Amino acid sequence: MALSQSVQDALSEAQSNLRNALAFAARNERPLVCQSIAKIMTELESIERYDQLFDSLEDAQKGDLGDNPFGNFGFNK
């Protein structure tokens, strides 16, 4: 089950806002603040990657592997 469009849009908007926050923080804040913002950004990106991986695993479980007998596991997207 893929992420809904509204969730994808919200994650994309959050990543955009965090990129802006990181740019401002890099100029004015302590390194710990920048590190924390970057960690949150990484976690948001991981949500999308995990969802792609789970979709690929579900397809493999259903037998819908495509050309590759091992499946693509979302790495070709």
Note the pLDDT tens digit of each residue in 2-60: 788 999 999 999 999 999 999 999 999 999 999 999 999 999 999 988 988 888 888 77
Residue 48 belongs to a domain: yes
73's CB contacts (< 8 A; 6+ apart) are 53, 56, 57
Token digits of residue 23:
């740019």
Number of folded domains in the chain?
Answer: 1
Residue 68 belongs to a domain: no
- Residue 57: its pLDDT value, please? 82
Residue 67 belongs to a domain: no
- Cα 20 to Cα 29, 33, 42, 73, distances in angstroms: 13, 13, 15, 31
What number of other Cβ atoms are within 10 A of residue 25's Cβ?
19
Residue 76 belongs to a domain: no
Residue 73 belongs to a domain: no
Q: On the CB side of 54, how many CA atoms lie within 13 Å of its CA?
A: 9
| Rounded-to-integer distance, Cα 43 and Cα 68, Å | 29
Global pTM value: 0.70
